[in-house]
A and B are shown apart, each in its own frame.
Chain A
Amino acid sequence: MSLFEPKKVCLFSAISGVITLNGEPAKGAHVKRIVEKFYSSGHNTDETMTDDNGYFELPAVFDQSFLGKFLPGEFAIPQQVFVTYGGEEYKVWAGVKRTKDENSEARGNELVVQCKLDSEPQAIAVDRGFYYTQCSWGVETDED
C-alpha cells in the first residue's frame, strides 16, 4: 500500500443476475440499491433496469478515506435492494456486510443471483454477515 493511498473498503460487491416473477423474467424492472457509507454518514444509491431476460448488473460500491478520518470501528454495513415491477415495490435484499473485502457476500466468488419476486425471503448468515433476501446465490452459509 503506498503512502498516499486511502484505505478502501467494499460496501456492496458487484451484483448481477436474473429477476423473475412466477417463473417469468421481470422485463424492464427498476432495480435500486442503497448502501450505507462506512467512513462518513449518509448512503450511496444507484439504480438500473433489467433487460428482456430479467437480467441486471450493478458495479461494486466502495468507500475510502484519507488521513484523519480513520477510527477504530466495527464494519457492519446495511445494504438494501428494491425492485419495482408491475407497479409493485419488492424489497429483495436487506443485508449487513461484516467484512471489508470485495465479494464477501459470496465467500470470494462473484455475486451472481437469482431473485424470485414471488418467493418468501430467506435469512442466511455468510462470513458473519446477515442477508434477508428473495435472492439466492448458492453460497455456503456460516455454521452455528
Chain B
Amino acid sequence: MDSILEPRDAAKFADNVYILVETQLPEELLAALNLFYGTKMDISAENITSAKTGGPGFIKSTTAFGLMAFGKGAYEGHAFVILRGTKKTFPADWLTNFNLATSRSTRGQLVHDGFNQAFLSMRAQLKAFITGFAGRGVRTVHCIGHSLGGGLATLCAEFLEANTTLKPYLYTFGAPRVGMAPFATSLTNSLSYERMYRIYHRTDIVPCVPFWPFVHAPLQEKEEVYDYFQPSPGSFPAVEMHDMAEYLKTIGKQGWSELRGKRDEHFGEQGINRWLNDKASVSFHVTNLEWLDKAISYVVGKCLKAMGMAMSNAFSATFTLMDRLAYILRKGINLATAISDLVLNLIRKMMSMLGMKPILEKADATHAFITRIFQQMSARVGAYCQRALDSVLVNGQGM
C-alpha cells in the first residue's frame, strides 16, 4: 500500500535523527538507531557497517548526517531517507550574507550550491541504497528532514524521483529555500504538490532564506496548491520557532488535513494585484516579505511571458542574479502598459518597505536604479535576519 506518514511520525523521525552524533561508537550508534527507529525500520549492525559499501545505513559526510533504512512491520515496502545538517546551528553566513552561488541539481535546475554540495557528498550512498529497492519490494519512499536536513531531503527527493520509478513523499520542517523558481516548478511537477509536506512556522527565520530568487517548492502558482503554513505569534522571526521541539508541539496529534489551510493570506493573482496596487505604505515584517516574494515571482513571470522567455532560460548561472532580475523588469517596463504598471508598482512597494518615498516615474526606473533597489532589499533582509537573531538573544524571545 502506498501511504503517507502521519504528521507526528514524520516529525518524530526528523527530530530523532539529531541523536546521531559524531562522537558515537558503532555500538552506541546502533543502540540509538534501534531505540528510536527499531520498531518501524530494519536496523541491524550489518546495515550500519555496510554504509561504506552500499545499502541501507548511517549517512555520515562532512556536511550531513542521516539514516537510510527499509521499513518493517506496518512500514514493510517503505524506504526512508532522514537527514540533518552536521552543524549545530544554521550557518550564519547563509542567513546574513546570502551566498548566491548556484549549481545544477539532478534534473539540471539551479539550486543553492551550499545545499547541493552537501547533497552530492551523500549521493553515492543514496545510489547504493536504491539498488536494494527491488529486492526489498519498495513501493513507497519517504524523504524527511528539518532545517538544512529539509533542504537536503528536497534534493534527495528530486534524485530519487529521477533515478527510480517511484515518486517520493517529501516532508520538511522549517526548511530553507533550496532552488530557484524553475527548480521548484520542476520538482512540483515531477513529485506533485500532494506529495510535498512543507511545514513551517510563520515566524521561523530559516524558511525566509535565502531571499528571492530562491523560492520554496511546492511553488504556489496555482490556487489549489497548498503548503503547511503554521501561524506562530508575532510578526518578527524568533529563532525558537525553528526548533524541532516547537514543530512537535505545533503538530501535536493533528492530521494533515487539520494542519493545512491555516493561512489568512491568499497569494493568488487577485491577491497579489491587490497588494501591489494598494498605495498604503508597507512596513518591513515577515508577512510583507512573503507578499513581496510572491509578487516578485508573479511580476517576473508576467514579464517573461510577454517577452516569450522561459523562466529556466532567464536565470543562467553566468549573470549575477540581481542584474538579471533588473534587466527583466526594465524590459517589462517597456512592454504593454499593464505589465509596465505592475513592474513600477512592485518597485514602489520595495521602496516603501525600504523606508523610501515610493515616488517613481517610468523614466526613472533605469536598470541601475532597479538593481540598486534589489541590492538594498537583499541587504535589508540580511540585516533583518541578524536583528531577529539578536533580538531573540536580548529578549529571550522574538520582538
Taking Cβ atoms with an 8 Å cutoff, the residues of A that contact B are 1, 3, 6-7, 36, 38-39, 65-76, 78, 80, 91, 94, 96, 98-99, 121, 123-125, 128-130, 132, 144
Contacts and interface: CB of A to CB of B under 8 A. Distances in A.
Contacts of B389: 68, 70-72
Nearest to A38: B88
B369 interface: no
Interface of B: 15-16, 18-19, 21-25, 27-28, 31-32, 34-36, 39, 84, 87-92, 95, 146-147, 174, 204-206, 239, 242-245, 386, 389-390, 392-396
A94 B88 contact: no
A98 B18 contact: yes
Contact of B205 (A65, A72, A80): A72
B67 to A, nearest CB: 14
Contact of A67 (B95, B205, B243, B394): B394
Given A72-B89, A72-B205, A124-B35, 15 more contacts: A7-B393, A7-B396, A36-B21, A68-B390, A69-B393, A71-B92, A72-B174, A74-B146, A74-B147, A74-B243, A94-B25, A96-B32, A98-B18, A123-B31, A132-B27
Nearest to A6: B393
A138 B205 CA distance: 39
A116 B91 CA distance: 41
Given A71-B90, A125-B36, A132-B32, A76 B245 contact: no
B395 A1 contact: yes
Contacts of B245: 98-99, 128
A96 B392 CA distance: 25
A99 B246 CA distance: 12
B39 A144 contact: yes
Contacts of A38: 88
Given A72-B389, A123-B32, A94 B394 contact: no
A43 to B, nearest CB: 9
Contacts of A39: 89
A32 to B, nearest CB: 14
A47 B27 CA distance: 25
A141 to B, nearest CB: 9
